[in-house]
Every structure is written in C-alpha cells, then in structure tokens.
Structure 1
Amino acid sequence: MSKPNVLFIMTDQQRWDSLGCYGNSVIETANLDWLASEGVVFENAYSSCPSCVPARASIMTGMHPWNTGILGMGNGQGPMGGGFQHTLPGELSKAAYHTQGVGKMHFHPQRLLNGFHSTFLDESGREESPGFISDYRQWFNRNKTGDFDIVDHGIDWNSWMARPYHAPEFLHPTNWTVNQSIEALKRRDPSKPFFLMTSFARPHSPYDALPYYFDLYQKKQVPEPYVGDWASIHDVEEDAAKPDAWRGVRSKGEIRRARAGYYGSIHHIDHQIGRLLLYLQKIQQLENTLIIFTSDHGDMLGDHNLWRKTYAYEGSAHIPMIVRLPESLGKPSYKRIDAPVLLQDIMPTILEATGTEIPETVDGISMLGLIRGEQTERSYIHGEHCTCYSEEQEMQYLTDGRMKYIWLPRVGIEQLFDLTEGRDETINLAKKKEYSHELQKWRARLVAELSPRNAGLTDGDQLVNQSGKPYLTSPKYKERLDAWEREFKK
C-alpha cells in the first residue's frame, strides 16, 4: 500500500471559535466546515505557548516549549534558530517524502530549511537575516500595478486598527500562498508521496480583508467581546492609546471594524483553501491525503480588554484542530473529540499516519489513538508564556477542557474558570469559597508540573511569586544552539 500524502494547513492567529464547525453562526467557512464534516473536530485543542515562534517550534519538533527552549518571544526566548535533532519535515524527508513549505515559517535564519526540501516564504514585514527579501515580497514588487508596498494602507503588523486591503485582490498574500501551494504540488517529485505545509500569514493583523469580505462583515452582527468581572485591570488608558496596544479599551466602532476585518480575512482564507482542495481533487490525490488544519494561537480581539495573543484565555490559547484521514486509514470512530490536545501532537500524528518512526525527542501524543476511540494517557494539558508585552501577562495554565486554572507568576494572581458554563471566562472562581478544593487541586497539579525544572517557580509544595526575579528561560535553548554552532565549526 502506498504511503498517504500529507497536507498541513495552518493559519496565523486564528481563534478556535472563528469557524462554523465550532458553532460560529456568523462567519462563513464552508470549505473548512466541509473538511470537518469529513474528518474529526477536536473540541479542546490548545497552543501550549500561544505566540508565533514558540508555537511553531513545538509544531516543527513535537516538543514541549521547555524542551524546545522557547517559552515566548523576546527576553531571551528566541529566535527559533536551528539545531533541532528531529523535525517534522526532516523525518518525513528521511522517509522518502518530498517536503515543501509555503508561506510563513518564522525560522531563523529566515532561509533555514529545518528539514524541508524547499520553502517559498511570506514572512510579512520581517527582514531579519542579512539580505533577506521574502519570495512573496519579491513577487509582489514584480507584479504590483502601482507605486505602493505591501502595507501602504498604514496599519501595523500588530495593530488593532482595521481597513480594507489597499491593493488589487490578486496581490493579497492569502491568494499568493494558495497559488504557490498549487505550484508546489505541480513541481513535486511524482515518484514520492508529498508533505506540503501551507502556512497563511493571516488572519494575524493587519486586519486588512479584501473589500468584498470586509464590507460583508461590516454589515453583519459580529459577536462583541467578552469582558470578565476581573478585566478592569487591563483598562489602562496609556496602553490603549498605542496603535499596537496589547491591552486597553477601544471604542465600539473600532472593535467592530477589527472583528469585521478579522472575520473577513478568515472567510477569504476559506475560499482559497477551497481552491487548494479542488486542485487535490483534480489531480486525484484528495482521498490519498491526510489533511490537518490548525493555527499557532488565537487572537483576543478585545476580549477582557486584551488584544493580540500570549495569554491563557480562550481567545488566545484555544485553537481549531481538524483532521481528515486518507481512505487508507479508514473511518474515524468519532466525529468530535473533547479530549485535550496540543500543537506538539501534530508531529507524532503525521508520523504514525505515514508509518514513520516517532523520535524519542517527541513529547506530543499521536491523535490517531483518540480518533480510533482509544483512551489517552493525558487528562489535562499544560501551557505557558514568558514575559513579552509586560511582566503582568506572564502566565502558566492548565486545562482539561472543562476547568481552566491560570497563574500569573509576577503579580501573584490565580484564576479558575468553569468552561462547561461557557467559554467566555467572565467569572473568576478562584476567590469563591465553594471552589477552594478545586483551586487547591489544580494548583497542586501545576506544582507537580513545574517542580522537575528546578527553575524557582515552586518550592515543591507551593508556587513561588516571581516578582522582581530574572526572566524565566530554559537551559535547553542555549544547549541546542551551542551544539548547532559546534556543528557549523566542524
């Protein structure tokens, strides 16, 4: 029996509740909803470190953030770099797959392959490596129809501001990503199964949906932000005033435009994914292809007076995860699965599905067992993010998809949310007497999770406040890069 192809579709900064198949009745995502109807929807998929670089490092390696050495962005946490002993595309390349990556990779140096045979890059505005110009920007400059650049509309890459896209539709990075993915399939080695990673740079800000989609959602009643009984701590005027604010209250009109641009961008992505799936059908490879759709993390979109990502809250950490099996793997036992899964579970899932050995370095657990109806050894998941925008938002969290416990180590705040009562996280139960036993249970679980690190987060019995202490870093980061550098010097 021939090995299945693998199509791994990934968006950037897409929250879990922005798809019809996850219960959103406003947004139109017909193609992804169809994919979900033919596959499995994971109800409780989470990003264990919800910002771009650490999340992608876990996807590429199947490792927990502590073991990749990347616990956030900035403050000694990155960039990703190379030197990983095993990567998802690297293992598939060794297993005779033709591996290609299209779109946003966020590697460093930016032309690093990390196991791919080839990449075709859209790195948004990042030009970090000497002489680097992304493939998308080069193509844009060759084909643009006037004297404008990729973001001449004036909205920054992390802004809450929104407006329609300023250039002709064919120049939008979402279209380019699918065009290049189709070209990659045309260029593939036909004697080998393929692994194609199609990685969109949207709906990450700028919220610059094409006019058709932007106008569509301006006219719809998009959901308003959730604002918890605890969220006033983030109503800080001097922070809110910044065009790339991470927190603070903006006007209802501004929030509505941000959400219209965000929803419109997702609708646009869905239409383009439809083109890619139709092409697979055309070349008669759809039924022989494992398809996984997910995102690296979500986007708060004003929930709890917060913007962007890096938080443990549902808008930031809870992500979509859809798996459609090839015919050779049979029908799934369940269409929807509520067991918690993580981004690091993608690598072992793909390796198992392709009959490729899973390296010992992989921390994730293949999702195929859950799809077959088997029990998992995991009852809850752990996530974290080191300081990025401010000390106040450094966090550790645990969830089983029913309850969520959050600890903010630099301000000494604990939060407990009952997700079975709704995913809005508007009521913090941590200070309610009737939940004291539940709080102690989850706190003890986090102590047990963090104790083996010996990183000062716990004394073995209690969590230790980190106010005024050095930023948390993992020794694994320096160990990996030192080994990589030694390899270069040979």
Structure 2
Amino acid sequence: MTQPNILLLMTDQQRWDTLGSYGNSVVETANLDWLASEGTVFTHAYTPSPSCIPARASLLTGMNPWNTGVLGMGRGQGQMGTGFRHTLPGELATAGYHTQGVGKMHFYPQRSLNGFHHTQLDESGRVHDPGFKSDYRMWFERNRTGEYDFVDHGIGWNSWMARPYHAPEFLHPTNWTVNESIAFLKKRDPSKPFFLKTSFARPHSPYDALPFYFDLYANKEMPTPMIGDWASMHDCPEEAARPDAWRGVRSEEEIKRARAGYYGLIHHIDHQIGRLLQFMTDQKLLDNTIIVFTSDHGDMLGDHNLWRKTYAYEGSAHIPFIVRLPSSFGKMAKQVDTPVVLQDIMPTLLEAVGASIPDTVDGLSLLPLMRGETNFQRDYVHGEHSTCYSEEQEMQYVTDGKMKYIWFPRLGTEQLFDLTKDPCECQNVASDPNYKEQLLDWRNKLVLELAPRQLGLTDGDSLVCQAGKPPIVSPHYAERINQTR
C-alpha cells in the first residue's frame, strides 16, 4: 500500500460545541460535518492545557505539559522553545515525509522549524524575535489595496469586541492560510508522501468575520451564555470595563455580536477547508490522505461571565477532534466517547503510517479505539494551567467527560460537575452530600497525578494549597533549553 499523506487541520481557540457534527444547529460547518460523517468523531476530547503555547507543545511532541516543561502562559513559564528530542513533523520527516507547516505555529524563536522542512507563518501580532515579520503580514502589505494595515479594524488580539473585517475578502488570514496550503501541494516533492499542517489563526479573537458571515449570524438567534450558580465571583465590573477583559458581565448585544463574529469566523474557515479539500480531490490526493481536525483549546464566549481561555470549563478545555482515515484502513467507529487529548495525535499518526513511536511520547494511539477494541488504557484525562490572568484561576482538572473535578491551587478550593446531568457546568456539586464518594474519588485521581512531581502540591493523601508560594515550574523546561545552548 502506498504510504498515506497526512493533513492536520487546526483552528485556534475553537470550542467543541461549534460544529454541526457536535450538535450545534446554528453554525454552518458543512465541510467539517462531511469529514465527520466519513471518519470518527471523538466526543470527549480535551486540551491538556487550555492556552496556545502549552497545548501546541503537547500536540507537537505527544508529551504531557509537565514533560514539555510548559504548564501554561503565566508566571514562571517560558516560551515553547526548541530542543525537543522528538516532534511529530520530525518523526514523519525521518519516515520519508515532506513536511510543511502553514499558518500559526507559535514557535520560539519564531522561525524555528521543530522538525518541519519549511513553514509559512501567520503569527497574528506576535513579534518575539528582533525584526520578525510573518509571511502573512509581508504578503498582506504587498497586496493591500489602500493605505491600511492588517489590524486597522481596531479590535485587540484578545478582545471580546467584534466587528466585520475591514479589508477585502482575499486579504483575510483564513484565505491566505488555504492559499499557502494549496501552493505547497502544487510544489511539494511528488516522490514523497506529505505531512501538511494547515493551522488557522481564527476563530481566536479578533472576532473579525467577513461581512457576509458576520451579518449572517448577527441576524440569527444565537446561543446565550451559560451562567452557573457559582459564577457571580466573575461579575467584576471593574475588570469588565477593559476592552480585553477576561471576565465580567457584558450586555446581551455585546455578547451576541461577539458570538456572531466567532461563528462567522468558523463558517468562513469551513468554506476555505472545503476549497482545500476540493483541490485535493481534483488532484486525486484525498483518497489516500489521513485527515485530522482539531483545535488547541476553546473560548468561553461569556459563559459563566468568562472570556478567552486557560480555564478547565467545557467552553475552554473541551475541543473538537475528528479523524478520517483512507478506506484502505477498513471500517472504523463513527463515534468514540473515551476521553482523549492532543498528545494522542502524534502516536496515532505515527502508528497509522508504520513509523516508530518514540519513548518520550505520553499520548496513546487512538487506532485501537477507532477499530472498536476495548483494551484502551485510559479512564480519564488530566489537564492544568499555570497562573495567567489571575492567581485565582490557576487550575488542575481531571475528567472522563462524564464527571469533572477542578482544583484551584492558589485558592485551595475545588469544584465538581456532573457533566451527564449538567453538561454546561451550572451546578457545582462539590459540597453536595450525594456526591461525597465521587468527590473523594476524583480528588484522589488528581493526587495520584501530582504526587510524582514532589513539589508540595500534595502530601500523598490530600491536596495542599499553594497560596503565597512560588509558581509551579517544571524542571524539564530548563533541562531542555540548557541542552540547546
């Protein structure tokens, strides 16, 4: 059998419940829903750390955040850096693949390859290296039709505000990302299979959907935010006044506009993915290509008076995850309810193409689950994020997609949600006597995850509050960075 090509489609900050195939009846995602109908939908996929850098480091390496050394985007945490012994594109390159990354990589240094043969970058507004300018921004400046910049719509990169895109449609970064993906397919080495990561910078804010898509959803009845009986702690009017507020109550009109922009961006991405898939069909590439679609994390969009990401809640931590294998792999499950994480992508793809899985990989191949086998060795997943917007939001969580336990190390408090009865996490049952045994069981699961770190997070039996203590830092980060110097 000819070695299959691989297309990894990735969005930025797309929550799990914004696809038709995941039950959303408002958003239009015809192309992704078609992929879902042809492949396997993982209903309980989670990010190991719900912000860009740590999530992408885990996807790149198949490693847990503790082992990548990046526990979030907050105090004590570094950039992704280099020096990983094994990466997904690097292992595929060794296996004979022509590898290309297009769009958002979030590497540091920004022109690092991390195993790719080449990258074409859209890094939004990030300039970490002296003189860095992304490929998208250079292209935008060459092709713009007037004296305007790519950020002249006036909305920040983490704002809750929304408005239609200010420039012609062809200049939108979503179009550029697919343009460059198609350009790679035209110029690739035809003697090798390809690995193409097409990584969109949206629907991450700014919520700047093209006018067609923005108006479409502005005129629809949109889902309203879920507000838990515990969420008043995030009302915070003094913080809500900020144009990039991470929490606080906004008006119904502002929330609807944000969601219209967000849904419009997803609809636009879906259309552009359709354009890429059509090109692959015309070139007779689609039938022998493994396709994975996922996101690094979600977006709260006002749920529980929260915006953006870094939280353990469903809107932030629960992600879409679809895998479509060529027909030569045989019949696969249409839906998998077992909890999975981004670390699983690397071993899944390596096993699928017959490449060795490095011993550094923490993730598990999902092929057994897709084949309907029952010996998969995971009952729940663990996620975390360091202090970012506020110390009180540093968190650790464990979930199987049915129950979820969250611990806030800097507060010493906990939450427990019964997702089967309360999928929107509106009732914290941690103090409900009917859930006493489940609370103890899930708390113990987290103790078992954290005990090997020997950082004082647990005494072996219970969790230890970290208020006033230095930030949690993984020693593996310094080890890796020092090896590259």
Residue in structure 1 matched with residue 194 of structure 2 by the alignment? 194
Cα distance between partner residues in 1 of 2:484 and 2:328:
39
Cα distance between partner residues in 2 of 1:126 and 1:169:
22
Equivalent position SS for 1:439: helix
Cα distance between partner residues in 1 of 2:450 and 2:411:
18
Partner letter of residue 80 of structure 1?
M
Equivalent position SS for 2:420: helix
Residue in structure 2 matched with residue 228 of structure 1 by the alignment? 228
Confirm whether residue 294 of structure 1 aligns to residue 291 of structure 2: no
Residue in structure 1 matched with residue 404 of structure 2 by the alignment? 404
Residue in structure 2 matched with residue 305 of structure 1 by the alignment? 305
Partner letter of residue 325 of structure 1?
L
Partner letter of residue 171 of structure 1?
L
Cα distance between partner residues in 2 of 1:135 and 1:422:
44
Q: Deviations over 1:250-290 (max 9, x none)?
A: 11110000000000000000000000111110110101000
Cα distance between partner residues in 1 of 2:341 and 2:401:
12
Partner letter of residue 233 of structure 1?
M
Partner letter of residue 409 of structure 1?
P
Report which stretch shifted further, 470-479 or 416-425: 416-425
Residue in structure 1 matched with residue 26 of structure 2 by the alignment? 26
Residue in structure 2 matched with residue 128 of structure 1 by the alignment? 128
In the TM superposition, residue 121 of structure 1 has moved relative to its aligned partner by 0.3
Conserved in 2, the CA contact under 8 Å of 1:53 and 1:78?
no
Cα distance between partner residues in 1 of 2:484 and 2:347:
24
Confirm whether residue 119 of structure 1 aligns to residue 109 of structure 2: no
Partner letter of residue 144 of structure 2?
K
Cα distance between partner residues in 2 of 1:20 and 1:179:
25
Residue in structure 1 matched with residue 271 of structure 2 by the alignment? 271
In the TM superposition, residue 418 of structure 1 has moved relative to its aligned partner by 0.7
In the TM superposition, residue 9 of structure 1 has moved relative to its aligned partner by 0.2
Q: Deviations over 1:162-193 (max 9, x none)?
A: 00000000000000000000001111100000
Confirm whether residue 8 of structure 1 aligns to residue 8 of structure 2: yes
In the TM superposition, residue 223 of structure 1 has moved relative to its aligned partner by 0.2
Residue in structure 2 matched with residue 161 of structure 1 by the alignment? 161
Residue in structure 1 matched with residue 370 of structure 2 by the alignment? 371
Cα distance between partner residues in 2 of 1:460 and 1:421:
31
In the TM superposition, residue 412 of structure 1 has moved relative to its aligned partner by 1.6
Residue in structure 2 matched with residue 90 of structure 1 by the alignment? 90
Equivalent position SS for 2:450: helix
Confirm whether residue 343 of structure 1 aligns to residue 355 of structure 2: no
Residue in structure 1 matched with residue 139 of structure 2 by the alignment? 139
Cα distance between partner residues in 1 of 2:373 and 2:422:
27
Cα distance between partner residues in 1 of 2:324 and 2:120:
25
Partner letter of residue 10 of structure 2?
M
Cα distance between partner residues in 1 of 2:313 and 2:412:
17
TM-score of the pair, normalised by structure 1: 0.98
Conserved in 2, the CA contact under 8 Å of 1:247 and 1:306?
yes
Cα distance between partner residues in 2 of 1:74 and 1:384:
12
Q: Deviations over 1:205-260 (max 9, x none)?
A: 00000000000000111100000000000110111111111111111110000000
Cα distance between partner residues in 1 of 2:261 and 2:378:
37
Q: Deviations over 1:310-339 (max 9, x none)?
A: 00000000000000001221220x201100
Q: Which runs of 5+ in 2 are unaligned?
A: none
Partner letter of residue 348 of structure 2?
T
Confirm whether residue 360 of structure 1 aligns to residue 359 of structure 2: yes
Equivalent position SS for 1:398: strand
Equivalent position SS for 1:200: strand
Residue in structure 2 matched with residue 383 of structure 1 by the alignment? 383
In the TM superposition, residue 22 of structure 1 has moved relative to its aligned partner by 0.2
Partner letter of residue 363 of structure 2?
G
Residue in structure 1 matched with residue 442 of structure 2 by the alignment? 442
TM-score of the pair, normalised by structure 2: 0.99
Equivalent position SS for 2:124: coil
Residue in structure 2 matched with residue 488 of structure 1 by the alignment? none
Residue in structure 1 matched with residue 479 of structure 2 by the alignment? 479
Q: Deviations over 1:3-50 (max 9, x none)?
A: 100000000000000000000000000000000000000000000101
Equivalent position SS for 2:146: coil
Equivalent position SS for 1:405: strand
Q: Deviations over 1:328-372 (max 9, x none)?
A: 21220x201100000000000110111110000000001111001
Instruction: Report the identity percentage.
Output: 71
Residue in structure 2 matched with residue 212 of structure 1 by the alignment? 212
Residue in structure 1 matched with residue 75 of structure 2 by the alignment? 75
Cα distance between partner residues in 2 of 1:201 and 1:330:
34
Residue in structure 2 matched with residue 418 of structure 1 by the alignment? 418
Equivalent position SS for 1:421: coil
Residue in structure 1 matched with residue 465 of structure 2 by the alignment? 465
Equivalent position SS for 1:60: helix
Equivalent position SS for 1:195: strand
In the TM superposition, residue 306 of structure 1 has moved relative to its aligned partner by 0.3
Conserved in 2, the CA contact under 8 Å of 1:325 and 1:331?
no
Cα distance between partner residues in 2 of 1:269 and 1:110:
24
Partner letter of residue 402 of structure 2?
R
Give the aligned CA root-mean-square deviation in angstroms.
0.6
Equivalent position SS for 2:74: coil
Conserved in 2, the CA contact under 8 Å of 1:102 and 1:119?
yes
Partner letter of residue 388 of structure 1?
C
Cα distance between partner residues in 1 of 2:397 and 2:78:
21
Cα distance between partner residues in 1 of 2:278 and 2:183:
14
In the TM superposition, residue 78 of structure 1 has moved relative to its aligned partner by 1.8
The runs of at least 4 aligned residues of structure 1 exceeding 6 Å deviation read none
Residue in structure 1 matched with residue 150 of structure 2 by the alignment? 150
Equivalent runs, 1:97-108 vs 2, <5 Å: 97-108=97-108
Partner letter of residue 179 of structure 1?
N
Q: Report the number of matched residues.
A: 484
Report which stretch shifted further, 82-91 or 69-78: 69-78
Confirm whether residue 330 of structure 1 aligns to residue 330 of structure 2: yes
Cα distance between partner residues in 2 of 1:90 and 1:469:
38
Equivalent position SS for 2:323: strand
In the TM superposition, residue 454 of structure 1 has moved relative to its aligned partner by 0.3
In the TM superposition, residue 97 of structure 1 has moved relative to its aligned partner by 0.2
In the TM superposition, residue 77 of structure 1 has moved relative to its aligned partner by 1.2
Cα distance between partner residues in 1 of 2:471 and 2:426:
29
